[in-house]
């Protein structure tokens, strides 16, 4: 039987409520689907990188989804280049670069959409993540 993790449940609730609200706002403004997908990809990508316990699960031998492992490998490689620097703004920038590069590749294939929605999704997640520390002061800081 799997153990329930209250920290993980709280992380998902705090993370997905702003995502759903902003996605509905984008739908009200009649934004094309590709832009909403770019926004969703960046938001969920950053959220996944900070999910409690995800790194341990990905690094286990039983985990077989290659793309997700590749995402973590890219992020860990970029983080290792900072070895010793603990600047939170630099960590945010590194988490934003990887989905941005992925969407640039998608944009070059489709030649449609607006790449700025990736930055919007990353910015929204990172700001909600920082604000959640102020609203829930007992929350432990989750490091990469």
User: Which has the closest alpha carbon to 96: 69, 122, 130, 71?
Assistant: 122
Domain membership flag for residue 39: yes
Q: Is residue 82 part of a domain?
A: yes
Q: Which is higher by pLDDT, 137 or 81?
A: 81
The pLDDT assigned to 39 comes to 92
Q: Domain total for the chain?
A: 1
In a domain, 144, yes or no: no
Cα dist from 127 to 36, 101, 107, 124, 132, whole Å = 19, 21, 25, 5, 8
Q: Taking 60 as the threshold, does the pLDDT of residue 134 lie above it?
A: no
How far apart, in Å, are the Cα atoms of 81 and each of 51, 90, 103, 104, 113? Answer: 22, 11, 23, 23, 32
Between 135 and 97, the more confident residue is 97
pLDDT digits 0-9 by tens, 1-45: 466 777 788 888 888 888 999 999 999 998 898 889 999 989 988
72-111 tens-digit pLDDT: 777 777 777 776 566 777 778 888 888 888 888 888 988 8
Residue 40: per-residue pLDDT: 92
Residue 70's domain comprises 6-135
Q: How far apart are CA 135 and CA 133, in angstroms?
A: 6
Residue with tokens 């998608």: 106
Q: Judge contact between 131 and 52, C-beta under 8 A.
A: no
DSSP line for 102-122: HHHHHHHHH--S-THHHHHHH
Number of H helices, E strands in the chain: 6, 0
The predicted structure's pLDDT at residue 83 = 65
Between 87 and 126, the more confident residue is 126
User: Would you say residue 141 has pLDDT above 50?
Assistant: no
pLDDT at 144: 36
Average pLDDT over residues 118-129: 89
The length of the chain is: 144
Q: Is 99 within a domain? A: yes
Residue 1 lies in a domain: no
Of 116 and 74, more confident? 116
Residue 51 domain flag:
yes
What does the pLDDT average to over 63-68? 71
CB atoms within 10 A of CB 133: 14
């Amino acid at each position: 039987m799997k153990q329930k993790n209250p920290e993980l449940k709280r992380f998902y609730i705090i993370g997905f409520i702003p995502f759903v609200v902003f996605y509905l706002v984008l739908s009200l403004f009649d934004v094309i689907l590709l832009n909403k997908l770019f926004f969703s990809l960046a938001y969920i990508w950053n959220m996944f990188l900070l999910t409690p316990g995800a790194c341990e699960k990905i690094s286990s031998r039983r985990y077989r989804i290659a793309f997700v492992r590749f995402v973590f490998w890219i992020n860990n490689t970029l983080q290792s280049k900072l070895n010793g620097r603990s600047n939170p703004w630099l960590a945010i920038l590194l988490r934003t670069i990887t989905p941005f590069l992925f969407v640039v590749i998608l944009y070059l294939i489709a030649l449609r959409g607006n790449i700025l929605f990736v930055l919007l999704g990353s910015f929204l997640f990172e700001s909600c993540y920082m604000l959640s520390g102020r609203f829930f002061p007992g929350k432990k800081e989750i490091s990469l």
